């Protein structure tokens, strides 16, 4: 099926109803029953997740427990067991490590794996079926697997068939397999966003990708979100799986945990900007520069995900960092979830003194224009407020 394929082969492995599956492993009498994970013996709080049997009745994650009982008064609710979730997470990841070291954990119940190398020896579909079977036999946990050339497409593929689904999505099949799907199925399009699109007549991914709808969509969700989603759908997003992507000793970071979980993008962005000001001060004080910003978010179910953005040149410009953090938040935030922790960091930082200015035929004109503009601004300031109010460090008189 993928014979002579030259691109990357990315698996997205998504454990099906993971918390519920773990509870069924611990208590087999729950199998086949409508039950949910939350706070047992109370009408307070919300559900973490629900079994497929409960989902068929309309019971779902983040639903207030009292509302779930209105749908099914006999609903079984079991307490969360994070120690067991973590235990089986590590067992799950260790099985995948037997096939590849290129693993990127997305959350406690899903990961991306680059299977390009091993697929030269075993067909990726055969490999995916073997992994599914092993997870069932050894851990008693079902999963769905998407196979595609990018992380985004692999994620979209794994969501197409659940439980125990297996979907291959090639770039040439995007129109055939993705375009008929609802716009709400686009990974990254939040629960508060897709109704706006549907109300405006953007019902399917095909509608979303129609050039005639571009202006309308940009008005609804913004140019950055539109361009990002469009490129992802076309297969132009990342195909790189990097183990321990964010574990770098040359880094500065900070985080905060909320007493009351937050689900508002505006509120979370305000907190992130405050955290950013804190670490930016440490960056400047240490005379460091960076070109990589990292955002970390942990939702109310303790799923943690991090992403980073890297620009071309090292800087300590907080305005640039603010824009990068806002872009990352728009990409990562799931508006159906609430968040208990957010963090901001800089990775791959270097001392400003280590930064060497590089001039070449492609950048000399840009740098000269930029420097001339700065000098003109400095001259205007000095003419207004007095000589030597502001100057280039190299021109400073001893």
| Residue whose pair of structure tokens reads 């769905």 in the numeric block | 144
Torsion of CA 380, 386, 390, 393, to 10 degrees: 120
Report the SS3 class of residue 363.
Answer: coil
Using an 8 Å Cβ cutoff, are 155 and 12 in contact? yes
- Tokens found for residue 162: 């659940």
d(CA 351, CA 180): 51
Report the SS3 class of residue 374.
Answer: helix
d(CA 252, CA 275): 11
Q: List Cα–Cα distances, 216 to 141, 182, 209, 211, in angstroms.
A: 43, 17, 12, 10
Question: Could you give phi then psi for residue 348, rounded to 5 degrees?
Answer: 55, 45
The partner residues of 147 in beta bridges, in order of sequence, read 11, 168
Q: Among this protein's residues, is 110 annotated catalytic?
A: yes
Catalytic residue among 83, 104, 110, 138: 110
Would you please indicate which residues are annotated as catalytic (active-site) residues? 110
């Amino acid at each position: 099926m993928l014979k002579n394929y030259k691109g990357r082969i990315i698996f997205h492995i998504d454990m099906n109803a993971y918390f519920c599956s773990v509870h069924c492993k611990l208590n087999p009498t729950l199998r086949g029953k409508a039950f949910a994970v939350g706070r047992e013996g109370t009408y307070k709080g919300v559900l973490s997740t629900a079994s497929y049997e409960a989902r068929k009745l309309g019971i779902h994650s983040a639903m207030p427990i009292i509302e779930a009982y209105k749908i099914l008064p006999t609903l079984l609710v079991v307490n969360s067991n994070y120690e067991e979730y973590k235990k089986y997470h590590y067992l799950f990841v260790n099985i995948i490590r037997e096939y590849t070291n290129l693993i990127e954990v997305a959350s406690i119940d899903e990961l991306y794996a680059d299977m390009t190398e091993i697929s030269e020896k075993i067909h990726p579909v055969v490999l995916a079926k073997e992994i599914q079977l092993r997870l069932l036999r050894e851990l008693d946990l079902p999963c769905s697997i998407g196979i595609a050339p990018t992380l985004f497409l692999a994620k979209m593929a794994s969501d197409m068939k659940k439980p125990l689904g297996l979907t291959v999505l090639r770039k040439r099949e995007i129109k055939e397999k993705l375009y008929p799907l609802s716009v709400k199925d686009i990974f990254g399009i939040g629960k508060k966003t897709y109704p706006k699109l549907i109300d405006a007549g953007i019902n399917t991914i095909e509608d979303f990708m129609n050039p005639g709808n571009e202006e309308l969509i940009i008005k609804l969700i913004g140019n950055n979100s539109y361009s990002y989603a469009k490129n992802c759908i076309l297969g132009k997003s990342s195909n790189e799986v990097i183990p321990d992507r964010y574990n770098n000793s040359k880094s500065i970071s900070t985080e905060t945990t909320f007493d009351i979980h937050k689900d508002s993008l505006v509120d979370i962005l305000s907190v992130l900007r405050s955290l950013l000001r804190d670490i930016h001060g440490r960056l400047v004080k240490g005379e460091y520069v960076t070109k990589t910003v990292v955002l970390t978010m942990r939702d109310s179910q303790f799923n943690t995900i991090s992403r980073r953005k890297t620009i071309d040149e090292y800087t300590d410009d907080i305005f640039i960092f603010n824009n990068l953090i806002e872009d990352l938040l728009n990409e990562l935030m799931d508006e159906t979830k609430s968040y208990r922790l957010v963090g901001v960091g800089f990775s791959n930082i270097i001392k400003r003194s280590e930064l060497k200015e590089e001039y070449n035929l492609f950048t000399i004109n840009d740098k000269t224009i930029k420097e001339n503009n700065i000098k003109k601004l400095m001259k205007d300031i000095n003419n207004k407020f007095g000589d030597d109010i502001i100057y280039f460090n190299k021109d400073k008189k001893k």
